[in-house]
Structure 1
Amino acid sequence: MSKDFISKTPFRNDNASSLMHTLNVSDSGSALWSFPIGECATWIDFIKHFFEIWPLRFEFSYDGHVIAPKDWPRILKRAKNSKVCLDFRLR
């Protein structure tokens, strides 16, 4: 296996035959995060995953639009039904 190869194994819930839906976040560079939907039920739950970089200013976007806390229920609903990848960007 090449060192440049990235493998993504899907999260599974307690039922080993059932895939767990995830929310992906990419910085369009070298990092890709994947979080189980259950860990992102609210905007605050999602943002907590990025606590280590909190002093820096950053934003997330989806389909070219910056995401605000009021957008989170719509993003989460979509992620429960299809693959969603958010873009992460330092401001």
Structure 2
Amino acid sequence: MMGLSVLGAVTVSAVALVRLARTNPKRRRILGLPQQATHHRPLAAVTMVCAPGLLLLGMEGGPAFTVWLSALTLLGWGVASLGR
């Protein structure tokens, strides 16, 4: 059961992390992408990144949270490296 909940939490956090990377105005400017017409509201995406980890910590305990945090760190590095 822990594996499925961690996988779900990592998936939700990864989607939000990719959204943060795609809508970041400074990152878009550095990569030469056009600016978005909509306003950048990172608070909702940051909440979506962090909330699954807090839920895991409350429901499954420390090991699930640690696995989620490790996977999120690797995904963050992967998203950052794909933008160049």
- TM-score tier by shorter-chain length is under 0.3
Q: Which has the higher helix share?
A: 2
Q: Tell me: higher relative CO, structure 1 or 2? Use CA pairs within 8 A at least 6 residues apart.
A: 2
Q: TM-score, normalised by structure 2?
A: 0.25
TM-score, normalised via structure 1 length: 0.24
Higher share of residues assigned strand:
1
